Chains A and B, each alone.
Chain A
Amino acid sequence: MTLGRDEYRTVIVGAGVVGLYTAYHLARAGGGPILVVDRGFLSSGSSGRNGGGIRQQWETRSTIRLARESVAAYRRFGREFGYNVWFRQGGYLFLAETVSELERLRKVHDIVRSEGLASRMLAAEEVGRFVDGIAPGAAAGGSYLATDGTLYPFPAIWGLYETVRSLGVEVALGVELLAVPARDGHVDRVSTTKGTVATPTVVNAAGGWSAEVSRRAGLASPNVATRHEILATESLKPFLDPMVVRPSDGLYFSQTMRGELVGGITVPHPTGTAQGVPSSPRFLTSMARALVTLLPRLKSVGVLRAWTGFYDDTPDGFPVLGEEPQRKGFVQANGFGGHGFMLAPAASRRVAASVLGEPVDLDPREFAPGRFDGASGPRTVEGLQLG
């Protein structure tokens, strides 16, 4: 197999939800020819390993707006891309164990409401209405937004993959990017395991591998890949509507359309993208303990499988979107910190606009690649990263 052309207008690295959505927006705007390369198979990265949660409850207005736009995109996904992602708006329930955690949720709630979303604060006794069988005293209260929800990540990838291909985008799987040689500070070409092609633009949508891709382009990256784990239980009849999250220990779980409980929890997460470290006893036992303590009725429910994936973390919890100041034509679309699926539709649209040289409605202090260079005053932080 060789690549289809010698020259592309844009090469996107990563065929996950961010890379494919970016390809989609670019192709629709007539930005071809476009090549997407991915070192693995389709859905082998974090786009095929996440819990499918889509929420709009965040600490910062900019993230809330991206999330709200993404929710609208997933609602119309089936019509737009031909695949049913089963985006079920069963709500997101944030649990607080203590009064001070409840205060933090109230602050989030105030911001979310001021953005026009109908978030609600729940008293301790109201939580049980959403989580049937919750242990008495397990929650001091919570916040809830009914239009948040969960989806199946896989069909989103199939729909995007087939749609971009029908729009003429070339998707080369099993092809690894090796280097991004530049000329006069501008991206000149891309060399891969299947040969070298000329291109003025490279989009780095490599998720957990984004820092490595930046390095191969000769750029420093503030992003750090951390290894997170997740598990699924046997399938049960529906008993839980919302995604339940607990910021204090990073616990999150929901019940999928198939009936499995899927979720994770924060344990010390090793950094780096080294392979060969399977799910840890530490994670399995911590997650199991958190679940049965919160919901004792789950005690006999069997864990079916556990797997791992990478979060692409940034120092401030915001993704990195836009062109590198040091390298014209090198556009970052990464650093989603495990929340790429949630924000991909809206974030990718802005990445595409940036590639096309159109105006982008993002605050550069929050999203621009160069924001970590040089010391500056206090910065905004999006702290509601979970898992």
Chain B
Amino acid sequence: METRSGRRFRFRRSVRTAGEGRTILEALVGDRLPAFARSVKYHRPRAPFCGVGSCTGCLVRVNGQPSVRACQRTVAEGDRVATENSWPGPGLDLLGVLDVAFPRGVDTLHGFRRPTFAAPLYHRLIRRLAGFGKVPDVPAPADAARAPQVHEARLAVVGAGAAGRAAAARAVALGVRPVVLERDRRPVLVDGAQTLARTTGVVLASPPPGTAEPFTLLGVADGNVGVAVRASSVVVATGGYDGALLFEGSDRPGIVTADLVLGLGRAAVPLPFRSAVVVGVGDRAREVLEALGSRAKAVVGFGEIPPDLTRRASELAVPLYPRSLVVRAVGRRRVRSLELRRRGGGPSFVVPCDAVVLAHRRLPGTQLLFQAGAAKVWSPERETYYPEVGADGATSVRGLFAAGTVAGYGGAAAPSSGIRAVEAALGVPPSSPGPAGPSPAPSGDRFVGYVQELLDLPRRGKWVLCPCEDVLLEEVENAVRRGYRGIEVVKRYTGLGTGLCQGRYCVPEAVSVLAVLEGCPPEEVGSLTPRPPAFPAPLAALAGLHDALGGEKAE
């Protein structure tokens, strides 16, 4: 519960109080989501979107250090929190005029070429406009008490969700003490395991094939301390996240993921909405509906809405919009309404709301697995890539296992998939039949045909496909029109997926868009190789690990 006496910190010009253990975001959520910044290219308003430390919606400057994620950073007494990339502030930003002045976007690939003598001027101007935070004048204070740590273990488990905890507990039962990395601030601990809380796994390096060397896992604890784990086997149980949805104005403040809503709910923070539209018809949408309570104003499905959700919605007197396209969010600094259109060329209608909660698509958090070299396989039911795994979660990389949502074993199947993975990793016979097949995807959320219809719609404003870098749908269409094919090339042509979220939100959608534009099945569009680190890792944290990992000796 929030207490009156908490930690005092400064947000812009006002002094605020945060309850013990609160994040900056939790402390600043009032009757609405706080606006923190403007986007990098067109200075469009940005507010928290993902709630799980991936997007660019909540970047703030803390004690002079740029690009800190408000949703991940716990408030410390005396923190100075400032906003970035806006002047005078994120609410009213003078450079917001760029968004209005360039309704079709700015073409930096072909523009600004003439006259040649003006190049230095263009360079100065565009450089000034680009870039997000200011580089600190002084280095971040060293945390003397927190030297980089190196752990050696037989087994490392990444993620302490249902699958990761079951895996860790089974390892303990088998006499092995695993090191568990968990991003969350208050993980549920497993007796006998060494759990590193507030620690993000960022780099997973597989041993060279054919050697007996261990995996090296680099992590960042508390946002600034380097952690390294050397382990012979690794179970990755990094769970999933709620995907984004492309429509006009889909980057507007108030459009959020189910992750954000459910996260605030778990932290007992009152939701900053009065009337929210839920997009999606599966279990996740159902959870959101319960969390929103009387704030829920509508449920939107791309296809039919299943009977149980229909029943629950009618109990709550929430209207349902099945077989609908989400066309447009109206409202500039905050969403005011959502325009929907019945599938198959039906009429369009507007639902007033101050929030849109995306719960239509749960994506696996596969970054570490793919970065470590695990082979991927396209799942036609879920329209995304999964690691190629057997029932025991073994990936194509020897010693590397996937468990839970990230392996396709979500929900009730998660714990048993964690147990099977650990048994396989430790070379003991399976104690149970293991998870029964990957959990089915809810049919009402299927993307088939949806994107095709979406692309045929008339457009008025910007369709921002990649909000981190302000890449517009139109730029992707131009690339394809000029003959550039495949997600790898289109990424390099447009810059989509190269921002702070590293493509977590835009790439799954870009794949569907490219499949339509290129007229091929989505799996032929290709996939991107996730680049390490999985989440941005401060230079100081990585630098600290240099000597700890024996960098000096080896040189």
Contacts and interface: CB of A to CB of B under 8 A. Distances in A.
Nearest to B141: A299
Interface string A272-311: 0000111111101111110111001111111111110000
A339 B545 CA distance: 30
B216 interface: yes
Nearest to B547: A289
A298 B65 CA distance: 9
Contact of A75 (B116, B531, B547): B116
Given A291-B539, A297-B137, A303-B536, A285 B551 contact: yes
B539 A48 contact: no
B40 A48 contact: no
Contact of B132 (A82, A259, A287, A292): A259
Interface in A144-174: 154-155, 158, 162
Nearest to B541: A288
B489 A43 contact: yes
B109 A155 contact: yes
A235 B131 contact: yes
Residue among A83, A162, A291, A305 facing the most chain B CB atoms (10 A cut-off): A305
A236 B131 contact: yes
A351 interface: no
Contacts of A289: 542-543, 546-547, 551
Interface in B530-553: 531-533, 536-543, 545-547, 549, 551
A279 B108 contact: no
A86 interface: yes
B67 A258 contact: no
A233 B532 CA distance: 11
B500 to A, nearest CB: 6
A291 B540 CA distance: 9
A239 B131 CA distance: 10
Nearest to B205: A281
B492 A234 contact: no
Interface in A205-244: 233-239
A299 to B, nearest CB: 4
B107 to A, nearest CB: 9
Contacts of B144: none
A42 B490 CA distance: 10
A222 to B, nearest CB: 26
A235 B130 contact: yes
A193 interface: no
B535 to A, nearest CB: 8
Contact of A299 (B67, B112, B140): B140
A190 B140 CA distance: 58
Nearest to B123: A88
Interface in A318-334: none
A278 B116 contact: no
A79 interface: yes
Contacts of B205: 278-281
A284 B373 CA distance: 18
Nearest to B217: A281
B94 interface: no
Nearest to B59: A234
Interface string A40-53: 01111000100000
Nearest to B112: A84
Contact of B542 (A277, A285, A305): A285
Contacts of A292: 139, 539-540, 543
B130 A259 contact: yes
A259 B540 CA distance: 19
Interface stretch (B180-188, B340-348, B480-488): B480-488
Nearest to B142: A299
Given A154-B493, A234-B132, A279-B203, A301 B127 contact: no
B551 A286 contact: yes
A90 B205 CA distance: 36
Nearest to B485: A41
Given A83-B109, A86-B123, A234-B536, A284 B132 contact: no
A150 to B, nearest CB: 10
Nearest to B371: A278
B373 A276 contact: yes
B238 interface: no
Interface string B88-128: 00000000000000000000111111101001100100111
A32 interface: no
Interface in A6-53: 41-44, 48
B66 interface: yes
Chain B: number of interface residues, binned into ranges: 35 or more
Contact of A285 (B134, B206, B545): B545
Contacts of A239: 134-135
A288 to B, nearest CB: 4
B203 A284 contact: yes
Quick one: which of A41, A76, A285 has the most chain B CB within 10 A?
A: A285
A278 to B, nearest CB: 6
B131 A158 contact: no
A121 interface: no
A83 B116 contact: no
B548 to A, nearest CB: 9
A280 to B, nearest CB: 6
Contacts of A43: 489, 492
A301 B135 contact: yes
Contacts of A155: 109
A94 interface: no
Nearest to B534: A305
B540 A302 contact: no
Nearest to B545: A285
Nearest to A296: B139
Contact of A297 (B132, B139, B498): B139
Given A278-B532, A305-B532, A233 B539 contact: yes
B48 interface: no
A234 B531 contact: no
Contact of B489 (A42, A276, A296): A42
A293 B546 CA distance: 12
B502 interface: yes
A168 to B, nearest CB: 15
A190 B202 CA distance: 45
Contacts of A293: 543
B428 interface: no
B527 to A, nearest CB: 13
Given A43-B489, A278-B373, A238 B539 contact: no
A302 B484 contact: no
27 contacts: A79-B114, A84-B112, A86-B108, A86-B123, A155-B109, A158-B482, A234-B66, A236-B131, A236-B134, A257-B130, A258-B130, A258-B495, A278-B371, A279-B203, A282-B549, A284-B203, A284-B533, A285-B218, A288-B541, A291-B539, A292-B139, A298-B539, A300-B66, A301-B539, A302-B536, A303-B533, A305-B502
Given A285-B542, A299-B539, A305-B532, 6 more contacts: A42-B489, A84-B110, A278-B205, A284-B203, A305-B533, A307-B531
